[in-house]
Amino acid sequence: MSANPLLDFTDLPLFDRIRPEHVAPAVDTLLAEAEAALEEVTKPAFPAEWAAIARVLDVATERFGRAWGAVGHLNAVADTPALRAAYNEAMPRVTAFWTRLGSDERLYAKYKAIDPAALDAEQRQAHKNAVRNFVLGGAELQGEAKKRFAEIQERQAELSQKFSENALDATDAFAHYAERGELDGLPEDVIAAARAAAEAEGKPGYKLTLKMPSYLPVMQFARSGALRERLYRAYVTRASEFGDAAFDNTPLITEILALREEEAKLLGYCNFGELSVVPKMAESPAQVVKFLRDLAAKARPYGLRDVAELREFAAKELGIADPQPWDWSYIGEQLKEARYAFSEQEVKQYFPAPKVLAGLFKIVETLFEVKIVRDSAPVWHSTVEFYRIERAGTKVGQFYLDPSARTGKRGGAWMDDVRARWLRPDTGTLQTPVAHLVCNFAEGVDGKPPLLTHDDVITLFHEFGHGLHHMLTQVNEHDVSGISGVEWDAVELPSQFMENFCWEWDVLSHMTAHANTGQPLPRPLFDKMTAAKNFQSGMQTLRQIEFALFDMLLHTDFDAAHVQPGAVMALLDQVRSEVAVLPAPPFSRTPNTFTHIFSGGYAAGYYSYKWAEVLSADAYAAFEETVSPDGAPSIETGRRYRQQILEAGGSRTAMESFKAFRGREPQLDALLRHQGMAEPLAA
């Protein structure tokens, strides 16, 4: 066993032992091994054979990727100044290697010389992707163009990392220590958590932050408009010129956009949007923009109706004649409670985290014919849990679950891979997949388990859907196993698919127990929830389209090479005037924390969420069509979905997998029906 835990590949990462001082030596060692492997396979005498290259190069790069992935993961969930410094010191060398590997003309020539007829179906798909990725990675560039391409990749990596750090630091930097009187209307568990947070710092009052478990309840429930305004202003101006200049992402956005456009033009594309869609399902940015605008046209009448109802309710029932941006969430929650006679906080009492997890596991075990059991592994925080998935007593995959929000942990929720399923070419053994499932839920207070909102439950199911895609794969070829090789605009299909089960009584009834009484969710309350399911769905759909359209236009119809001050916000204002139904305040700086597109891989790809919703809604319709008389989902349909979508991974195109499951191409009607927008409304 190596003294450096990052160099120990005997099994799972040694997260409890990894320290900042381990990063540089591990990168040095693994980088040298990967460089040596690259030199070996590109020698003229080395055979242009898939298996031969895999035995040498893929083994070395996979080890490098796993170790760096562990460092990157810790940087996202357990950020410290020392770890951040070690990560940032190593990142340029790591980025430079991957850029060099992806653009190596000698290696590109080896892959082009491989005979696809000698490969199996999985290998052929991986080979096809590899050749395409070499072109996109600059392998056909020469001289100064190739050198400049590498510089762009390195600088983009630095800027994206800094963007993410600024967003996290700006979020962590804010705290408001409220007096008890300011908290009128907030749920008791939120108040208790705020008090505990202040006490932990030895301060009086109640600590409110911009982390979701604190921020969102304030916006939804605080009766104090002044308190809502204070947090709202802080939230929408994070990492902008309105705060600490050290965290301002405005200049980073400008430089990132210019570099992306330059990269695209080096590769022969007119703009980054064109480059982005090459490996995706969508055929062109124009097709994406048309899809978004068509969907916006269908949703807009519903969005206008939603806003009219909010304004009327605010004026008549709340005495708010002129709602401000920080009022809308509060008005919406009050209207929902009045209309459907329940509150999110009432529902929340029925969703203790352990019970929810047990219910999630039950539906997964039933539908996909697996068993989920607790397992043990080194972890980075005491709240992290580890599980194993089995079928017929055989391990299929494993996953870490990191549910709680905390300082030093990036906001949001995500799934990431620790390692992929792979029939290893060096040992001939089958490597099973391992995933990270990360959320940012509130922690439990007063010794009680955490309580999840129904939205939290949906988030958990969503990320687990990604995890299942990664862990249930039966593909043995590393680069098309699980989520690898799946088109980016189809990768949300399995995650959004799982969300549907959060609205099924047969599923939900097994995953609820009141925090005080232990009683399951009453059917009348569930019926109210389903009646409210599409509450403001028009507004919410338009909000997602606003983000997606802004993202795509920013990377296509925008002069990224000569960005004028205020031009990015001007484009967002233009998009809002086209699709939004709620006015945004002039001080809002949404792009400055839009980490999805500036540091999260969704650049010119945020549309993927809406695109994949069409796929997931239509896929779920197959379950609706085969449900049993007592409401139980069909095991046969679950098996077909597992085999044709989840197990196939990236071994064929997403459209081929969808058609193999559904028997036809996807249709929009299921999505509109699920979101309560099937019947046209007059605009």
- Quick one: pLDDT at residue 631? 78
Residue 403 lies in a domain: yes
Q: Are residues 38 and 153 in the same domain?
A: yes
Query: Is residue 653 one of the residues assigned to a domain?
Result: yes
Give pLDDT tens digits for 133-143. Answer: 999 999 999 99
Which CATH number characterizes residue 643's domain? 1.10.1370.40
* Mean pLDDT score of the chain: 96
Q: Are 9 and 102 members of one domain? A: yes
- If asked whether residues 104 and 157 sit together in one domain, one would say yes
Is pLDDT of 360 > 90?
A: yes
Same domain, 476 and 364: yes
Residue 517, in any domain of the structure: yes
Region 185-190: mean pLDDT is: 95
Whether 82 maps to a domain, the answer reads yes
Least confident stretch, 365-369, 396-400, 565-569, 672-676: 672-676
**pLDDT of amino acid 35:** 98
**pLDDT for the residue numbered 617:** 95
Tell me the catalytic residues. 463
> What's the domain range around 185?
174-237
Proportion of the chain above pLDDT 90, given as a percent: 93
In this structure, the answer to whether residues 388 and 497 fall within a common structural domain is: yes
Instruction: Report how far residue 468's alpha carbon sits from residue 645's, in angstroms, rounded to the nearest whole number.
Output: 10
Other C-beta atoms within 10 Å of 419: how many?
A: 25
pLDDT of res. 447: 84
Same domain? For 71 and 190 the reply is no
Q: How would residue 2 be classed by pLDDT, with cut points 50, 70 and 90?
A: low
| d(C-alpha 203, C-alpha 211), whole Å | 19
Q: Where is the domain boundary, 149, 169, 189?
A: 169
pLDDT(680) > 90? no
pLDDT in tens, 447-481: 889 999 999 999 999 999 999 999 999 999 999 99
Same domain? 65 vs 186: no
| Alpha helices (runs of H) in 515-653, residue ranges in sequence order | 523-531, 537-554, 567-579, 595-598, 608-625, 635-641
- Rounded to 5°, angle at Cα 327 from 323 and 329: 130
Residues 96 and 215 in one domain: no
Domain edge (last residue) among 221, 237, 253: 237
Q: Are residues 95 and 226 in the same domain?
A: no
20, 86 Cβ separation under 8 angstroms: yes
Please report, as a single letter, which amino acid is at residue 132: R
Q: Say yes or no: 371 and 412 in one domain.
A: yes
**Domain endpoint, select from 190, 221, 237:** 237
- The pLDDT score that the predictor gives to residue 682 is 60
Q: What local confidence, expressed as pLDDT, does residue 605 receive?
A: 97
CA angle 295, 297, 298 (to 5 degrees): 65
Over residues 149-174, mean pLDDT:
97
Angle at 640 between CA 634 and CA 644, to 5 degrees: 150
The whole-number pLDDT of residue 420 equals 98
The answer to the question of residue 628 being in a domain is yes
Residue 491 domain-assigned (yes or no): yes
**Contact 123/477 with Cβ under 8 angstroms?**
yes
Task: Return the pLDDT at 509.
Answer: 87
Cβ 608 vs Cβ 602: under 8 Å: yes
In a domain, 328, yes or no: no
Residue 677: half-sphere exposure toward Cβ, Cα within 13 Å: 28
HSE-CB for 246 with a 13 A CA cutoff = 6
206 in the same domain as 100:
no
pLDDT above 90 for 61: yes
Are the CB atoms for 237 and 174 separated by under 8 Å?
A: no
Q: Do residues 97 and 68 make contact, with C-beta atoms less than 8 angstroms apart? A: no
Whether residue 562 lies inside any domain: the answer is no
Instruction: List, as one string, the DSSP characters of 331-378.
Output: HHHHHHHHHHS--HHHHHTT-BHHHHHHHHHHHHHHHHT-EEEE----
What confidence score (pLDDT) does residue 563 get?
86
- How many domains is the chain built from? 3
* pLDDT of res. 683: 55
Tell me, yes or no, whether 480 and 406 share the same domain: yes
